[in-house]
């Protein structure tokens, strides 16, 4: 039995093993356990996970599609390295998508949406208070995705989801040296402005909540 098969019960097909392998590698990249530029050797990973090289290759291809891994000719796979320009692109794109989504959500939010948003924020605060940095990172991302979803703009959500994992890297880099409690509190005013229906203020806060590239670079990406 492989290391991954031991994590689940029931019948596991090849596709689910690929997904699980991709998930584990994705988490290691987002945590920084696999740093930018790190070579990813099929053989070593296959031995570590006790899976076939074909399964690992398929998992790595998934991560290429997500923009977390790249294939370098004559070298193989490696964790993506974000250039200054890459960070600028992600910053400006995230700002555009999230500010629009936040404005639209503030304009249309109802009681049910307010309940969902407050519940998501409460989960983020709980993780932050327990100093669960990894959990706070994840719930930070989930909160922003929920705001986009509550906008009711399906095409906006679709575009956001296409680059979601690259945004995950950006958020992880932004939060890397930030106290978990600060991650939680930094969203309080944003959530309150959306719940109050203050679209203009919510849009401003959505942009202000995104750490600029120069600040990330100053932390030594």
Amino acid 195: pLDDT: 98
Q: Which of 2, 30, 29, 27 is nearest to 14 (CA)?
A: 2
Q: Clarify whether residues 75 and 88 are in a common domain.
A: no
Sheet-wide strand order for 69-72: 39-40, 76-79, 69-72
Amino acid 219: pLDDT: 55
Measured between alpha carbons, how far is 177 from 66 in angstroms, rounded to an integer?
Answer: 25
User: Which residue, 33, 61, 79, sits at the end of a domain?
Assistant: 79
pLDDT digits (tens, 9 = 90+) for 118-150: 999 999 999 999 988 888 888 999 999 999 999
pLDDT at 5 over 90: no
pTM > 0.85: yes or no: no
Q: Clarify whether residues 10 and 60 are in a common domain.
A: yes
Mean predicted confidence (pLDDT) in 81-103: 95
Within 8 A by CB and 6+ apart from 212, the residues are 91
Torsion (CA) 92, 93, 95, 101 in degrees, nearest 10: 160
Amino acid 218: pLDDT: 67
Amino acid 196: pLDDT: 98
CATH number for 30: 1.10.10.10
Q: Clarify whether residues 165 and 74 are in a common domain.
A: no
**Token reading at 185:** 């509190």
Give buried/exposed letters for 47-57 (b at 16+ CB in 10 A, else e).
eebebeeebbe
pLDDT digits (tens, 9 = 90+) for 190-219: 999 999 999 999 999 999 999 999 988 765
User: Which residue, 79, 109, 142, sits at the end of a domain?
Assistant: 79
Q: Clarify whether residues 50 and 105 are in a common domain.
A: no
């Amino acid at each position: 039995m492989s290391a991954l098969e031991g994590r689940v019960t029931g019948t596991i097909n090849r596709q689910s093993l690929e997904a699980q392998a991709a998930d584990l590698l994705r988490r290691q990249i987002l945590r920084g356990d696999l740093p930018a530029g790190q070579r990813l050797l099929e053989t070593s990973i296959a031995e570590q996970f006790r899976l076939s090289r074909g399964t690992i290759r398929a998992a790595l291809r998934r991560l290429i599609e997500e923009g977390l891994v790249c294939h370098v000719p004559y070298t193989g796979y490696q964790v993506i390295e974000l250039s200054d320009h890459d960070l600028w692109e992600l910053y400006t794109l995230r700002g555009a998508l999230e500010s629009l989504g936040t404005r639209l959500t503030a304009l249309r939010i109802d009681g049910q949406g307010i309940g969902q948003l407050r519940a998501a924020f409460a989960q983020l605060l709980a993780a932050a208070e327990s100093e669960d940095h990894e959990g706070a990172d994840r719930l930070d991302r989930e909160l922003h995705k929920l705001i986009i979803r509550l906008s009711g703009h399906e095409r906006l959500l679709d575009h956001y989801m296409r680059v979601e994992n690259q945004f995950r890297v950006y958020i992880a880099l932004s939060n890397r040296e930030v106290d978990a409690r600060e991650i939680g509190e930094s969203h309080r005013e944003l959530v309150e402005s959306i719940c109050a229906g203050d679209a203009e203020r919510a849009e401003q806060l959505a942009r202000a909540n995104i750490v600029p590239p120069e600040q990330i670079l100053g932390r030594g990406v």
